[in-house]
């Protein structure tokens, strides 16, 4: 089960691609502002801003 490094590589590529369709914010402040609104309006309590490794911008995602 642990001998699947190629699968990992594939998963990473998919992640980088998926970030294209996501809303990107140019700063943490901006992303957190949107996250705060969504938490208040939609009850998305797990929503948090994170710096994207692929595009260098900020996205909103579920905290783990
Ligand atoms: Zn990204």
Each residue of 31-64: b (16+ CB within 10 Å) or e?
bbeebeeeeeeeeeeebbbeebeeeebbbbeeee
What's the gap in Å between 5 CA and the centre of ligand 1? 23
pLDDT of residue 40: 95
pLDDT of residue 31: 96
What's the gap in Å between 52 CA and the centre of ligand 1? 5
- Residues by chain with Cβ below 5 Å of ion ligand 1: 19, 52, 54-55
Delimit the domains of the chain by residue range. Answer: 24-64
C-alpha 55: how far from chain center? 11
pLDDT of residue 54: 87
| Residues of the chain scoring pLDDT < 50 | none
C-alpha 10: how far from chain center? 18
CA distance 56 to 14: 16
What's the gap in Å between 56 CA and the centre of ligand 1? 6
Please write the tens of the pLDDT for every residue from 24-40: 999 999 999 999 999 99
pLDDT of residue 47: 92
pTM of the model: 0.66
């Amino acid at each position: 089960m642990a001998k699947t490094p190629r699968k990992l590589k594939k998963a990473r590529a998919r992640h980088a691609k998926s970030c294209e369709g996501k809303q990107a914010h140019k700063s943490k402040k901006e992303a957190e502002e949107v996250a705060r609104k969504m938490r208040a309006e939609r009850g998305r309590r797990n929503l948090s801003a994170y710096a994207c490794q692929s595009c260098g911008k900020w996205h909103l995602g579920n905290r783990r």
